[in-house]
Copies of this chain bind each other. A is one copy, B any other.
C-alpha cells in the first residue's frame, strides 16, 4: 500500500516535471524576483549584479560545493548548477572574497548568520506541503528566564483546534543545532506543517511543540591550530566535535529549559504536566543537548530524540554520569529513545558506534540509518518519523 503510494507520487512527479520544461519559481525565491530559478532537469540558475567584480562564485552548502559564475554581455553574472538533490540547501554568493546573500532569495539563520536558502522540490516532500487541512499556529512568545536574567523569545506550535478546545496536550521540546536559533525548526523545517499533516491523516496525536535557543552559554571553538598536514580551514576532527558536544554540561541551557521554560509552558498553555507527556529532542548539538539534559532529568521526560546528534557513546557504564549504567532501569524509564543519522553525515561513524554501544548494553532504542548528510532535508524527515511515536 505504502510502496504503491510512493510509486504513484514518483510517477506524478515525473509527469509534472516533463510537462514543465520552463524554468520555475522556487518557494524560497523572493516574490517577483526572476532568479534563482529551477530548471526542468532539477538544476538551478543564479544571476546577480556586480558590475566591477573580478570573480563571482556560487557557494553551495556553506561552501562545500563551489561554482564559478560568468559575466554576460548584459553585465550580470550567471551560473547554472548540475541537478540538485531535492530538499533544503544553504548557499552564498562570493564577490571578490565577500561572501553574502543572494538578493533574490529568502534567508535563514545558520552558521551564526543570515544565509540564503534554496528549496528544491522533489517527490518525497508531501509530508510538509502546505495543504488545505486544519492548521496549527506558531506563536512567538517572550518570557523572563531567571537563569539568564533575560526576556527570551521562544516559538510555540499549538495544534489545530487548540484555541477552540479545552483539552490538555502533551509537549515536545525541540532544539536546533549549533550556530542556528530557535526559528530553525519553523523556518527551515516546517515544524508546523509536518504535525498539521500527520494530525489530519490521523497518524499522530495533537501536541504542543516548543523551541528555545540552545546556543545559550555554548562557546564551542574548533581546534585553533590545524593538524600537521591538514589543509587550511579543514574541519576539526569528527571525534573531537562529537566528544565536545556530548560531554558539554549545557548548564545554562539546562537551567533555561528545566527551571524556566517548562514551568512557563505548563503555566501558560493547556499541557499535561508530567514526564509521560513530555518529550525532548534536537538535531546535531541539539541532539547532544536532548540526551544530556533528558538523561539528567528522567523525572521530567519519558521520550528522547537525537537527530544526527553530536555524540560519541563508548562506555554506557560511565557516559552521561552513569545514567545509562542500569539498562533494565533505563529501558523501564524511557518510553522512547530515538537516534537517527544519515549515511553521508560527517558524524556517521561516532553516532553509529554509539548505537552499537547501546545495542551491546541492551539499551532499547529506535535506530534509523537513513540516506543523506547533515542537513535540514534529513531532520524534517526525522521529525515526521519521530512525531507519530510519541505520547501513546
Which B residues touch A30, using CB under 8 A? 112-114
CB-based contact A106/B97 at 8 Å: no
Chain A 45-56 per-residue mask, 1 if CB under 8 angstroms from chain B, else 0: 000111111111
From B96, B99, B143, A103 is in contact (CB under 8 Å) with B99
Assuming the contacts A114-B106, A139-B139, asked whether A96 and B130 have C-beta atoms less than 8 A apart, the reply is no
Residue of B whose beta carbon sits closest to that of A48: B98
Assuming the contacts A93-B100, A96-B96, asked whether A268 and B163 have C-beta atoms less than 8 A apart, the reply is yes
Report the bound CA distance from A143 to B163 in whole Å. 15
Assuming the contacts A31-B215, A52-B96, A103-B113, asked whether A140 and B142 have C-beta atoms less than 8 A apart, the reply is no
Within A237-288, the residues touching B (CB, 8 Å) are: 268-269
Report the bound CA distance from A132 to B100 in whole Å. 36
Which B residues touch A163, using CB under 8 A? 268-269
The minimal Cβ–Cβ distance linking A233 to chain B, given in whole angstroms, is: 13
Chain A 17-38 per-residue mask, 1 if CB under 8 angstroms from chain B, else 0: 0000000000000111100000
Which B residues touch A66, using CB under 8 A? none
For residue A144, CB closer than 8 A to chain B, the reply is: yes
From B56, B93, B132, B138, A151 is in contact (CB under 8 Å) with B132
CB-based contact B139/A96 at 8 Å: no
Which B residues touch A354, using CB under 8 A? none
For residue A107, CB closer than 8 A to chain B, the reply is: yes
CB-based contact B98/A101 at 8 Å: no
For residue A356, CB closer than 8 A to chain B, the reply is: no
CB-based contact A96/B53 at 8 Å: yes
For residue A373, CB closer than 8 A to chain B, the reply is: no
Residue of B whose beta carbon sits closest to that of A157: B140
CB-based contact B138/A140 at 8 Å: yes
Residue of B whose beta carbon sits closest to that of A155: B140
The secondary-structure label for the interface of chain A is loop
Report the bound CA distance from A33 to B113 in whole Å. 9
CB-based contact B97/A51 at 8 Å: yes
For residue A60, CB closer than 8 A to chain B, the reply is: no
CB-based contact B140/A54 at 8 Å: no
Within A111-167, the residues touching B (CB, 8 Å) are: 112-114, 130-132, 135, 137-144, 151, 163-164
A49, A55, A151, A186: most-surrounded residue (chain B CB, <10 A)? A151
CB-based contact B97/A100 at 8 Å: no
For residue A95, CB closer than 8 A to chain B, the reply is: yes
The minimal Cβ–Cβ distance linking A220 to chain B, given in whole angstroms, is: 11
Which B residues touch A132, using CB under 8 A? 144, 151
Within A58-112, the residues touching B (CB, 8 Å) are: 93, 95-104, 106-107, 112
Residue of B whose beta carbon sits closest to that of A152: B130
CB-based contact A95/B96 at 8 Å: yes
Which B residues touch A164, using CB under 8 A? 268
CB-based contact B137/A151 at 8 Å: no
Assuming the contacts A30-B112, A103-B100, asked whether A137 and B135 have C-beta atoms less than 8 A apart, the reply is no
CB-based contact B114/A101 at 8 Å: yes
Report the bound CA distance from A131 to B150 in whole Å. 10
Which B residues touch A100, using CB under 8 A? 93, 95, 98, 100-103
Nearest 7 CB-CB pairings of A with B = A51-B97, A50-B98, A100-B100, A95-B98, A53-B96, A52-B96, A135-B142
Inter-chain pairs besides A50-B96, A98-B100, 10 sampled, C-beta below 8 Å: A52-B55, A52-B97, A53-B95, A53-B97, A53-B98, A93-B98, A107-B107, A114-B114, A137-B140, A140-B140
> Can you report 17 A-B residue pairs in the complex whose CB atoms are below 8 A from each other?
A30-B113, A31-B215, A49-B98, A49-B99, A50-B95, A50-B97, A51-B97, A56-B98, A95-B96, A100-B100, A101-B107, A101-B114, A107-B114, A130-B142, A137-B139, A138-B140, A163-B269
